[in-house]
Structure 1
Amino acid sequence: MIVITNPSSIANEISIIDSLFEEGLSLLHIRKPDFSELEMALFIHQIKLRFRANLVLHSHHELAQDFGINRIHFPEKQRKEVFEIARENKIISTSVHSIETFNALHPNFEYAFLSPVFKSISKENYESETDFFEALKSRINFKTKLIALGGMASENIQKALENGFDDIALLGAVWNHQNPVNQFKLCQKIAHTYFL
């Protein structure tokens, strides 16, 4: 299961991040679009060293080398830069908004977020007109894992996994909750139950 940081700062964010990892979070995508390079470096520096291998950078990719981070995410607009980075033996991921784009991805991508699967929790009035469960029937790319993003919460995780997604990513369900760690644990339990 993947968690994406809230774009803006959250109270006790680093402490929550460390707790999420302690509870078994596999990957944390650091998506802070307004951070300067220095702010990003300071943010990463606060996360416990033993969790660095579980971090994925959405921006300021040049910091990956300095911090021993081996995972880079490319938003849709930046995919052209990918193959320069791929030569540096980084694990790469990206974001897509249609199954056609997903099917056409280069096999170097380990996984891709497809969104929004459900009505977004973190972005107001953000939902897709596409029925992604219907669209998934035309999936032909099985080299890249397909991750459900957008509106993912405890009540719909099972539906996403049953309908062909390989995994899920959480954002609003965690960060908009009064107890982010407990909410993560609930979602994790549901996902683990499905995979058993």
Structure 2
Amino acid sequence: MIVITNPSPIKNETNIVHSLFEEGLALLHIRKPDFSEIEMARFIQQIKPEYRSHLVLHSHHVLAEDFGINRIHFSEKERKNNTLISSEGKSFSTATHSIEDFNSLPPEFDYAFLSPVYKSISKENYHPETNLFEALNSRTNHITKVIALGGIDAKNIKKTLENGFDGMALLGAIWKNENPIKQFKLCQQIVQSHFQ
């Protein structure tokens, strides 16, 4: 299970991030599209060094080396415009919005988001145009893990995993919740019971 940061800053965000890691969060995707490189560096500095190996950078990839971050995320646009930077010792992820795009990914990508699966919790008027569960039936890429994104919460995690996704990413379910830690733990329990 992955958590993606809220795009804009949140009150007590660093404390919440530390609590999520204490509860067993595997990966935190830092997606702050409006952050300058300096703001991004400040944000990362606030996260305890022992958690930095669990961070995934969506932007300002040049900071990865400075902070010992080995996980890089490419947006769909970046993926299509760039050649991948040296993959030695690095883990790559990306975003896709169709099974065709997902199937055509090069093997350098460890996992890719496929979205939106459900109506988004965090983005207004962002909902699926195709049934991604049906689309997964034509999955030919079994090297890259497929991660569900978009509208994922405690009510639909079980269905999502039962329908072929390898995992999921939470955004709105965490950051739009009054108690993000309690919500994370609930979602985590559902995932763990599925894999037992």
Q: TM-score range by the shorter chain?
A: over 0.9
Equivalent position of 1:99 in the other structure: 99
**1:82: how far off?**
4.3
Cα distance in 1, alignment partners of residues 86 and 114 from structure 2:
22
Residue 64 of structure 1 corresponds to which residue in structure 2?
64
Provide structure 1 residue ranges, at least 5 long, that are not aligned to the other structure. Answer: none
CA deviations 1:120-140 (Å, max 9, x no partner) are 000001001100011110001
1:132-181 per-position Cα deviation (integer Å, ceiling 9, x unaligned): 01111000101000000000000000111000000000000000000000
- The count of corresponding residues between Structure 1 and Structure 2 is 195
Which whole-Å CA distance do the structure 2 matches of 1:192 and 1:82 have between them?
36
Amino acid at match of 1:84: I
CA-atom RMSD, angstroms? 0.8
Equivalent residue, structure 2, for 1:83: 84
Q: Paired residue for 1:73?
A: 73
CA distance in 2, matches of 1:70, 1:141: 23
- Write the distance in 1 (CA, Å) between the matches of 2:33 and 2:55: 16
1:88-135 Cα distance to aligned partner (Å, 9 max, x none): 431100000000100000011000000000000000010011000111
CA distance in 2, matches of 1:106, 1:186: 34
CA contact (8 A) 1:115 1:150 kept: yes
| TM-score under structure 2 length normalisation | 0.98
Q: Secondary structure at the match of 1:14?
A: helix
Q: Are 1:74 and 1:82, in contact at CA under 8 Å, matched by a contact in 2?
A: no
Q: Show the 5 A alignment for 1:1-196.
A: 1-79=1-79, 80-86=81-87, 88-196=88-196
After superposition, give the CA deviation of every residue in 1:29-74 in whole Å (9 maximum; x if it has no partner): 0000000000000000000110000000000000000000000000
> Using the alignment, how far apart are the partners of 1:45 and 1:112 within structure 2?
27
Tell me the CA shift for residue 84 of structure 1: 2.3
Q: Partner of 2:84: helix, strand, or coil?
A: helix
Superposition deviation, residue 83 in structure 1: 1.9
Question: Residues of 1 paired with 2:10 and 2:103: CA distance?
Answer: 35
Given residue 33 of structure 1, which amino acid in structure 2 is its aligned partner?
P
Q: Contact 1:16–1:180 (CA<8 Å) still a contact in 2?
A: yes
* Paired letter, 1:41: A
Q: Supply the distance in 1 between the matched residues of 2:18 and 2:134 (Cα, whole angstroms).
A: 37
Q: Structure 2 CA distance, aligned partners of 1:131 and 1:193? A: 25
Structure 1 runs of 4+ with >6 Å offset: none
